[in-house]
Amino acid sequence: MMGAGDDPTPPMPASASALDAIGTAESVTDAVRAAQAAGLERLDAQWLLLHALGRPLARAWLLAHGDEPLARDAAQRYAALCRQRLDGVPLAYLTGERGFHGLLLRVDARVLDPRPDTETLVDWALERLPPDAPATVLDLGTGSGAIALAIQYARPAARVWGLDVSADALAVAADNGRRLGLPVRWLRGRWWNDWTPYPDAPATGPATPHHDRDHTAPAESTDPAQPLALAGSADRALPTAPAEGASPWPARFDLVVANPPYLRADDPHLAALRHEPRQALVGGPDGLDDLRAIAAGAPSRLAPGGWLLLEHGWDQADAVAALLRHLGYADVEHRRDLGGHRRCTGGRWPGTAPSGAPLTRA
């Protein structure tokens, strides 16, 4: 889940005197200025102060109370948070929250900090999913559950599974699902191998989004594929619990999405990402090991005509597209991230739906 250009920019290191000034600040405004002088960006400085004051979503409060005295214990808490941020700890780990595609997620060091550019993958997935169709969707390497939960929230008729090899990550994802009331099912396994249901049952009930936005993602192709035209979708039932003895997941999925590790093992940016789980970042010597494994194994789990959509590094689009074409995927396309880089590549596994109705292009 790297950002545009895959170039994380950690805060500048601070001198001891600059850090001391944060802890002795006497007012709200003085504290923010001291944090900026120490090397923090203004927005980070403001969010951390609000967190230290127990006002996590009240940024406007800072503007109206800049001259308010700052208690010494609050100043010390703030200084400790600033020290960690200046050491490269993600802001979301310090506040415990990250907004993603209209949902407010809880995150910590057990999972990657979800990046805004990954919303590109969600937007593309929603293009492929008709709003009322009970499609089956699998999110590989779900981490915090960000992608799976965003898809489930936007497409409530879909049946969504999130898979991860890390039990720690699944604990975070399941907690987010329960808190948001979204019925994503969770699986533990390594890509296509040794799947087991994660013990926690899916949540039920409506989700409350943190904010609303217009989700759009322009297609590069002038002839984009239509959303999944599921055979007999009008007759398919809404998600239900599996019958006793039945598999807790479908044999095949209509859509598979993945944001796997894709940094090279020698990527110079890894030092700036040292506080995030390395196994969720590094994809082998060239960064493509996990992308290859996912693309090669997906046909055994994709329904005929189903789509595989992948996030990758800013400079890996051509390699991933060549891989998909070599494996037999059709209609290979890209989507660009917020920085204009080709961040996602996907393709359709050829075939027809079980009833014989083809999944057609426009």
Annotated binding site: 141-145, 164, 191, 259-262
CA torsion 19→63→91→181, rounded to 10°? 150
What values do phi and psi take at 313, rounded to 5? -70, 160
Distance CA 233, CA 75 (A): 58
Nearest of 138, 149, 190, 122 to residue 343 by alpha carbon: 122
For 179, counting Cβ atoms within 10 Å of its Cβ (0-12 exposed, 13-18 middle, 19+ buried), the class is middle
CA angle 171, 113, 312 (to 5 degrees): 105
| Residues placed in the known binding site for S-adenosyl-L-methionine | 141-145, 164, 191, 259
| Distance between first and last Cα of the chain | 31
| Residues placed in the known binding site for substrate | 259-262
Tokens of 91: 């802001």
Give the single-character DSSP code of 120.
Answer: H
The residue to which tokens 């002795």 are assigned:
24
